[in-house]
Structure formats: structure tokens, C-alpha cells
Structure 1
């Protein structure tokens, strides 16, 4: 596989990776490194049905599964798990996640990016979307606000800068690492101890006036 270039289209899923942890994004999209763990395998199981392209109609609402979307303006490409098209013209993307119902900014960012793509493709406003939390069997509606749209634009700009630099960001070494499938590859504890060691070593050579 070939690592992404700064001008390449950015995958919608990459926005979620970057928002969760820039180093995780870089390991996946620069280093082409990936491992599965229980969380990623559960996510794959949840997506199994919606990853199959198709549609169904219920009470006038057409639900498209695995719908390919893109934005030429932001240079985004990917797919929506489900997009609901209502008789009154409303368009409502739905992103499937395996966990319990709770707010996660990185999930909302990915959903907002889907909404931006759908708006550009259809010429219609997309004001809301939903995260379907599989463990809770419940939806969490998300308003696609101006602030959330700005976060998408800032994330895209940050990702392009990271791609241009071709440098891995430092590890987070916090609570996020516990659930990350790349923990063994990233080695956040080891690298963090190394940084502390280097800082202490540098102090040995500081000459006081």
C-alpha cells in the first residue's frame, strides 16, 4: 500500500482517526500500520450489514446503505453507513458505532463531514444526522452546527499539514491508549519515558551563570 500524499483525497474515516488521536491517524495513513482488537472487531461486526450497498423504503423514507460520497471543495471521499431521504426533501446521514450511547466528538466530526459531502453533492442543506449506538440500540441525533463544520475544515487542514511533514506526532499516553488497537505498535509508555529521560539528560548539560 502507498501512504497518502498531501493533495490526495482524505477518507472520511481518517477524520475520525485524527480527531481521536493524531498519532493513530499517522500510524494508519502514513505508516500503513493497523491491528485489530476487540473494539475494532466489534465495529466490523456492526458494519457488516450496512457495508452491503442497497436500499429499502419504509413509510416513504428511502434508506441508502453504504452510499459513496465526496466533497471536491474539501477534498474528502468515503461512504455513509446509511443515508435517509425523506419525502419532504430532508437528508439524514446515520453513522453506526458499536459502543453504548454517549457523546464522542470524533464520531460527530465524521458525521458532519458526511453532511458536508451530501450537501455539495445534492445542493440541499443537511442540518442533522444521527449516530446509531449498537450496544444501546439507540440513536443520538447530532445537529450539524457551524462550529462542527469549522472543526471539519480545521481537521482537514491539520491532516494535510501532517501529510506534508511526513512526521509522526508524539504519543498521547493517556486514557485513549487503553482502547486503541495500535497500542503495541505505538508504545506510548515507552516513548513517553524516553522523552522524560531525554529532558532530564539535557538538564545535566545546562550551565548556570
Structure 2
């Protein structure tokens, strides 16, 4: 039976960081916090105060609920600036810009929601990083849009299957993850090959 529950926008970022982490959070409903997630939560609490302001020609909406029926996505935008009526999403992140595209995909997913909600193209947005205190502007080009749609489909397939991906231990990545004690990536990724052991015993 297919899972019709909407996919949280944060799941796309989790999936690109680690599919197993995504499943633990969004399929198994597990969570643990560390210093990094606490910093991120505090940063979002500051940004996610609902309201609207205007400065010059720019109207700013905070904590705007988002929905994309086409991809079955749901979430909340930290900030959406309306520039001449055209939405410009701004997502707040701790740390600094990353080598992978997880943050960009999450922001692009917001843009796809806004395009459906406002019925007009959203060509770019920005990521604001707490460590650098600067915005990184992101263009929603064809490659990023395709990757975002692909990731949403992969998460939907995982949720529909009800199967958590197996662990793949990566010291640097796993060391940053708040779910490491729940995931147990090192021992589970190197579990004994029971089936192989049985085959060897039967041959002997």
C-alpha cells in the first residue's frame, strides 16, 4: 500500500546527506540531538517567527507554510521575499556552504512549492549560513530541478517500501550525525556474513 503522507522538505536534505538517516527520522520516527542540531534548531527558531514586513519594494514573509501537490511535499519556508510579487526563498543553515548539494536541493524544493502556490516561475533563492553570516545565492537550473525531483521520488519509494537502508559507515559523516548511537553504523556495516559462513560449513 502506498504511503500518501506528504514528504517533509527536510527529508530531501536528510536523504542526500545519508539515506539511512532519512529513513530513521521519517520512516522510523527516531530522533536524537547533538550540539550541531541544537545550534540549527536555535537558528531556525530565530528565523521562524511568523509574520510579514515590508522594506522598500520587498515584502518579506516569515514561516510561510509550503505545499507541492505534484511531488507530495510539505514544509515551512524560513523566509520568502516577494520582489515585485516574485517569490525568493531564503533558507537559514548553521555552519558554512557545503561540498554536496543537500541544502540546495531543499531550497529548490521550496521553490517548486512556491511555483505551484503562486503560479509563476521561481528562478533563484538564497542560503544563509550562520557561520559565514552571508547569503549564498542559488539558481534553480534544470540540473538542480531534476535532482530535486529525483530525490523526492527516491524518498517516496523508500517510504512506500517501509524499508530502512542498511548502514554505510563513513567516519567523517557518521561522526557529525546525531543519530549515530541509534544507527550503529560501524558494527552493523561490518556484521558477520552468516549466510556465507553456513555455505562454507556445508562445503566442509
What's the TM-score, normalizing by structure 2?
0.92
Is 1:32 the counterpart of 2:29 in the alignment? yes
> Which of 132, 136, 139 lines up with 1:140 in the alignment?
136
Is 1:86 the counterpart of 2:71 in the alignment? no
Displacement of 1:103: 4.3
Cα deviations by residue, 1:100-139 (Å, 9 ceiling, x for unpaired): 2344411111000000000011011111111100111011
**Aligned partner of residue 13 in structure 2, secondary structure:** helix
> Which of 47, 72, 75 lines up with 1:75 in the alignment?
72
> Which of 156, 159, 163 lines up with 2:155 in the alignment?
159
Displacement of 1:59: 2.0
Separation in 2 of the partners of 1:199 and 1:39? 39
Separation in 2 of the partners of 1:27 and 1:77? 19
**Aligned partner of residue 116 in structure 2, secondary structure:** helix
Displacement of 1:193: 1.6
Separation in 2 of the partners of 1:180 and 1:44? 15
Q: Unaligned stretches of 5+ in structure 2?
A: none
> Which of 38, 48, 69 lines up with 2:45 in the alignment?
48
Greater CA drift, 198-207 or 177-186:
198-207
Separation in 2 of the partners of 1:144 and 1:93? 11
> Which of 7, 10, 13 lines up with 1:10 in the alignment?
7
Look up the match of 1:97.
93
Separation in 2 of the partners of 1:179 and 1:199? 33
> Which of 158, 162, 165 lines up with 1:169 in the alignment?
165
Aligned length: 202
Cα deviations by residue, 1:8-52 (Å, 9 ceiling, x for unpaired): 111111111112111001111111110000110000111112211
Question: Which runs of structure 1 show a deviation greater than 6 angstroms over 4 or more consecutive aligned residues?
Answer: none
Contact 1:6/1:161, CA 8 A, preserved across alignment = no
Cα pair distance change 1:139/1:199, threshold 3 Å: farther
What's the TM-score, normalizing by structure 1?
0.90
Q: Unaligned stretches of 5+ in structure 1?
A: none
Is 1:182 the counterpart of 2:179 in the alignment? yes
